[in-house]
Amino acid sequence: MTTTVSKDSTATRKRSISTAPPSMKVLAVKILFLAIVDAVAVFAMSMLFFRGDWLVLGIVAVTTLLVNIVYLSPGLLPGKYLTPGLIFLAVFQVFVVVYSLYIAFTNYGDGHNSTKEDAISAIVLQNTQRVEGSPTYRVQLVEGPGGLGLLATSPEGEVLVGTQQEPLQPLDPGAVTLDGDRAVAAEGWTSLQQQDVLQRQQEVAALQVPLSDDLADGFLRTMDARNAFVFQSVFVYDEAAGTMTDTTTDTVYADLGNGQFETEGGEVLGTGWQIVVGPENFLYPFENPRFGGALLGVAAWTFAFAILSVGLSFFLGLFLALTLNDPRMRSRKVYRVLSILPYAFPSFLSALVWLGLLNTEFGFVNEVLFGSANIPWLTDPWLAKFSVLLVNVWLGFPYMFLVCMGALQSIPEELTEAATVDGANGWQVFRGIKFPLLLVSTAPLLISSFAFNFNNFNTTYMLTRGGPRMEGVTENVGHTDLLITLVYKTAFEGGNRDYGLAAALSILIFIVVAAVSAISFRQTRALEDLH
Amino acid sequence: MSINIDPAAIELDAEPGRRHAPQPRMSFRKWVRELGWRHLIGIAVVIFAAFPLVYVLSASLNPGGTLTGSNALFRSFSLENYVDLFTDPNRPYAAWFANTMVIGLVTSAGTVFLGALAAYAFSRLRFTGRRVGLLSLILVQMFPQLLAVVAIYLLMRGISDIFPVLGLDSQIGIILVYLGGALGVNTYLMYGFFNTIPTSIDEAAKIDGAGHARIFFTIILRLVAPILAVVGLLSFIATTSEFVIASTLLSSNDKLTLAVGLFRLVSDETNSNYPVFAAGAVLAAIPVMALFLWLQKYIVGGLTAGAVK
């Protein structure tokens, strides 16, 4: 490698001394990359423009401008090297943390997924009824750029077309093909054949084409793909009062500031919208003591799990390093290679392998080792905790074994010899010299291992999914749940996803991790100063 | 995407330099007292460490298709489960495998590139905010991406509305998310290695008329190849094992990664799907273990020999 470099430099030295201008090739590559970035940015900006997302549009515009400035102006070298990584870091690492903080203060989740306008139209659309005695429209299902639509012929013979998003609009009679008194095709629209209609039955049944811009006027719906009737929503939204009225019962639902329509009596419409709710998510455990208690249990187990995992694997690893590193053992290399196998095995598979081994009815451990016993390794609260720890130690001890072995080897032999000369026995040498030195050199690794296990999602979730479930708690909380698996389950599992609460829980983890790292790094510095 | 591996540990696996003089033969009783128990412990540990892996291998070769049948180790031999793995359209294993490789390789290549660029800037250029930048990288990296999984999911859902290609259920999308973790520990690791390369090499090249890009791409990158391999390997292993973000962002069956696909396969129906899962696990583990063992030598060689002396 060194020789290539020197050859290169002698060759260039002969050519010139002054700084050469950038070659055409480099310039071309640079411009090509910038062009791609700009094209993508311009496309994104135009999409954002149509959606009216001014804030994001502004951010994208400023970023694109900065990128162009950095790469087109001479100088600004650090910028040229740092910008690509920093953009990714800013969006997917820093921004998402800030965004988590924001979500934690909202009611974002199932039933509160979107804006108030979306919620209103969803409520109106989801609760329609056929209007008694309404006229029958003859229809043909068509497809256009806006999706599935209805080509409708009114009883008066007027031909109209519309989709879920675009209300019915009259068509120029010249652009329509008629079959008797029913329009069957129109320019710019593809007519659906019988078998297409059958295939897309559900879509067809759900299709509601508004009669006009005002949703209260009603919709056209078809059941048989030939005849359509006017449907009107049971719910009417009163824009002036901001209330939703159920016309069948004349119940009035109002927006009381909770991101949903509700009556004074506490009746709530299922579809709400997203609002900022303040510290409500953070107060939730206090207002629901059972969940609060469960959360405390989870937090305690998270700490216990992380500490025990690190401690047990460290001591097992250290014990093995001391035991198997005897130079007189000829086979120690074999033991070493075989016992670090779990470390080389992909970690996401390990828990799944153990899932089979520990299966209650059919697993190897119960069937063969315990003679067909039915020990609930993964479904009993305490045994499940034991199993998760066992698997995690299996995963973690080879790393500790390697680390301890290296650390022990790096301790100078003279220290041991001096102590032995002074009359110390083997245990005293270990206790007084080797162990403290070992701790100093491995402390940072132990701390990062703790931080890793504190959020060790894979082992727990893949083995037990956090279960068995705690009794008496309505939320899905299990006995082996870690805080991070609880975040995941709250946000992505079950029928009631609650992003707000999940984000609040993850903020809790942020605080714990930050505190632990701050304290422990100070501690390690103290350790290092001591020695 | 926290990486729980320290390259120092890999290096440590090399044999210590010193050799001990051959010991005189000891009596059997002394052997039992001083070495015999060590062998017993060694054997026990090897069984504990290796048995689950042997079990998976055996289960994958066992026809019959249930967990119960897998308990008789190596009683019969058949490739039925492997064939099953590639023929059932309900579990597109080949697609999962390809997805995992593509996502893993692109992410690790991207991580290496972005990290090397940043490390070069921090190591060779002097600018205001350099120290603060380095420190904040360490700080940011303390918070693994998976803590913000809710926000990542909602962000990607928002991007889906504008750019479906980069949003949910897209491989490009998930690679972009993973690249968010490219700077940080990796940069720090590389920064340390970049610093070991004497700046006189840069200066000589500069005098010879090479620009910064030429110095970086043709000289420095070659000299730091060992650390690039380490970071690439760590990033590849971390990405292919990642479950949380992949399981929230990817949804269609043929777009899953191995971690998500195999988890869904075996956690739904542990008993009946286990042998097929075992076959899938064996095939998935082989490249990672091979890469690990192969690159381990390279890394040890690279770190100890040193490209620059």
Confidence at residue B298, expressed as pLDDT on a 0 to 100 scale: 53
Q: What is the DSSP string of A383-444?
A: HHHHHHHHHHHHHHHHHHHHHHHHHHHTS-HHHHHHHHHTT--HHHHIIIIIHHHHHHHHHH
Is any Cβ of chain B less than 8 angstroms from the Cβ of A236? Answer: no
Judge if B217 and B165 occupy the same domain. yes
DSSP-based three-state secondary structure for A253: strand
Specify whether the CB–CB gap between A214 and A168 falls below 8 A. Answer: no
Judge if B143 and B252 occupy the same domain. yes
| pLDDT tens per residue, range A371-429 | 878 888 888 899 999 999 999 999 989 888 888 888 888 888 888 888 888 888 888 88
Q: What is the dihedral of CA A156, A159, A160, A161, to 10 degrees?
A: 150
Residues on chain A touching B41 (C-beta within 8 angstroms): 320, 323-324
As for the ipTM of the complex, it is 0.83
Distance CA A86, CA A392 (A): 34
Distance CA A220, CA A235 (A): 16
Q: CB atoms < 10 A from the CB of A169, how many?
A: 9
Query: For residue B9, is it within any domain?
Result: no
Distance from CA of A93 to the nearest CA of B (A): 6
Residues on chain A touching B217 (C-beta within 8 angstroms): none
Mean pLDDT of chain A: 83
Query: For residue B120, is it within any domain?
Result: yes
Least confident span in A8-17, A109-118, A410-419, B176-185: A8-17
Confidence at residue A276, expressed as pLDDT on a 0 to 100 scale: 85
Judge if B71 and B194 occupy the same domain. no
Judge if B105 and B161 occupy the same domain. yes
- At A432, give phi and psi (nearest 5°): -90, -25
Distance CA A161, CA A139 (A): 9
Amino acid, single-letter form, for residue A150: L
Share of chain A above pLDDT 90, in %: 19
Cβ–Cβ of A352/B66 closer than 8 Å?
A: no
Residues 6+ apart with CB under 8 A from B103: B171, B174, B175, B178, B239, B240, B257
Judge if B194 and B55 occupy the same domain. no
Confidence at residue A188, expressed as pLDDT on a 0 to 100 scale: 81
Best A46, A49, A349 residue to mutate vs chain B (most B CBs within 10 Å): A349
Amino acid, single-letter form, for residue A369: L
- Residue ranges per domain, chain A? 22-104, 127-262, 289-530
Confidence at residue A530, expressed as pLDDT on a 0 to 100 scale: 47
Cβ–Cβ of B41/A448 closer than 8 Å?
A: no
Any idea which residue has 């870091």 for tokens? A89
CATH of domain A289-530: 1.10.3720.10
Q: What is the 3-state secondary structure (H, E, C) of B166-187?
A: HCCCCHHHHHHHHHCCCCCHHH
CATH number where B190 lies: 1.10.3720.10
- At B78, give phi and psi (nearest 5°): -160, 150
| Whether pLDDT at B255 is above 50 | yes
Nearest-CA neighbor of A6 among B219, B226, B214?
B219
Judge if B55 and B117 occupy the same domain. no
Amino acid, single-letter form, for residue A322: L
Judge if B46 and B70 occupy the same domain. yes
Beta carbon pairs, A and B, within 8 Å: 323
Alpha helices in A325-362 (DSSP H): 332-339, 341-344, 347-357
Cβ–Cβ of A462/B127 closer than 8 Å?
A: no
Judge if B96 and B205 occupy the same domain. yes
- The pTM is what? 0.81
Specify whether the CB–CB gap between B116 and B191 falls below 8 A. Answer: no
Cβ–Cβ of A85/B115 closer than 8 Å?
A: yes
Burial of A340 (0-12, 13-18, 19+ CB in 10 A): buried
Q: Which domain holds residue B224?
A: 92-268
| Whether pLDDT at B12 is above 50 | no
Judge if B141 and B175 occupy the same domain. yes
Judge if B114 and B240 occupy the same domain. yes
Any idea which residue has 């013979």 for tokens? A157
| pLDDT tens per residue, range B49-71 | 888 998 888 888 887 767 776 67
Is any Cβ of chain B less than 8 angstroms from the Cβ of A516? Answer: no
Judge if B165 and B33 occupy the same domain. no
Number of domains within chain B: 2
Is any Cβ of chain A less than 8 angstroms from the Cβ of B35? Answer: yes
Judge if B66 and B99 occupy the same domain. no
Query: For residue B292, is it within any domain?
Result: no
